[in-house]
Amino acid sequence: MKKMKLVGFALLLVLTIGFLAACGSGEDGDSSSESENTNTESTEDAGNADSEGTASGTLTISGSSAMQPLVAAAAEQFMSENPDADIQVNAGGSGTGLSEVSEGQVDIGNSDVFAEAKDGIPADELVDHKVAVVGMTAAIHPEAGVEDISKEDLIKVFTGEITNWSELGGADQEITLVNRPDSSGTRATFVDFGLDGATPAEGVTEDSSNTVRQIVGDTPGAIGYLAFSYFTDDSVVAMSIDGVEPTDENVQSGDFPIWAYEHSYTNGEPEGLAKTFLDYLMSDEVQNNIVPEQGYIAASKMEVQRDAEGKQTEAN
């Protein structure tokens, strides 16, 4: 009898051990299945993160018409790489860009001048992003017969002291002045560094550089001023000043006097799509390709620099 009890006890022990082993196996199976599910979810999450990594949203930019071709070209390329992003690039002048970004009407305000140079702009609230450098010069109708002018004579032309190109050895054509409005950064840059601060005489006034180019090209005797990026054909002539040609190299060296930084201002530190796009503007892809292709100069390539007061010094 005692022997049978021992056998029964041993059999019960074996059955108990088997049951526990089976339970352990089931738990391991569940654990493995859960691990597989976790891995699957992680893979799916990674896929969503990749798709969500593409920039999206709407961005509104306004301001400098001299800067518009560059920013528009960069925006077009950016949107081709980020189809869920919508970037609107409008002109209107540097003053408009600065006032609209400071008032929160746009996300980015483009300007050819420092915000400190514009009255009524809370410059201390704006963050400056120097995207590039732009050279500017006088634009003249090809038939005027003058391609090089001294700064002294340039000032006399724009202040109305010289009124016919024949006075400078050119054609017998009356001079028509084409200006930008007071809000224009192109005007401010040209006045400061091309006319040494002299106020231009009254003439035709146009809101955009595109219109200035069209009027100068269509009007014999006309003269205006444009960023280098607008001299894309022979409809207007880019004038040399004091024998110095208007080239990127001469701007970089500081030999050609009329140039400005192209600023993109934000109201406070940029966030979201504004930050992503500004980072893109400063990327090698844009600085080494789109910037020179559009007729601008990467700020890093300048051998000279300017401060908000217009003082030019050697670059650090």
d(CA 248, CA 253): 9
Q: Please report, for residues 163, 284, 298, 299, 310, the alpha-carbon distance to residue 316 in angstroms, rounded to integers and kept in the order given.
A: 43, 21, 15, 12, 16
Are 57-132+261-310 and 135-253 the same fold in CATH? Answer: yes
pLDDT at position 119, please? 86
Span 270-303, pLDDT tens digits: 999 999 999 999 999 999 999 999 889 998 899 9
Helices (H), the chain: 2-52, 68-81, 94-102, 151-158, 185-193, 209-218, 248-253, 272-281, 284-285, 291-293
> Mind listing the pLDDT tens digit for each residue in 221-231?
999 999 998 99
Domain 135-253 has CATH 3.90.1110.10: no
Average pLDDT score, the chain? 85
State residue 86's pLDDT score. Answer: 97
Percentage with pLDDT > 90 across the chain: 70
CA distances for 68 relative to 33, 55, 180, 240, 296, angstroms: 57, 22, 15, 24, 11
pLDDT digit string, tens, across residues 41-63: 333 332 222 334 588 999 999 99
48: left (phi over 0), alpha (psi -120 to 50) or beta: alpha
Task: Give the three-class secondary structure for 153.
Answer: helix
Q: Band the pLDDT of 315: cuts 50, 70, 90.
A: confident
Q: What are the residue ranges spanned by the domains of the chain?
A: 57-132+261-310, 135-253
Calculate ∠ Cα 224-226-227, nearest 5°: 165
Q: Which residues, 6 or more positions from 234, have their beta carbon under 8 angstroms from its beta carbon? A: 142
Evaluate if residue 207 carries a pLDDT over 90. no
Confidence of residue 135 (pLDDT cuts 50, 70, 90): very high
Of residues 237 and 54, more confidence is placed in 237
What is the model's pTM? 0.74
Residue 291: which of 186, 138, 134 has the closest Cα?
Answer: 134
User: Which pair of tokens denotes residue 133?
Assistant: 């450098």
Q: How far apart are CA 76 and CA 134, in angstroms?
A: 20
User: What pLDDT sits at residue 53?
Assistant: 59
CATH 3.40.190.10 for domain 57-132+261-310 = yes
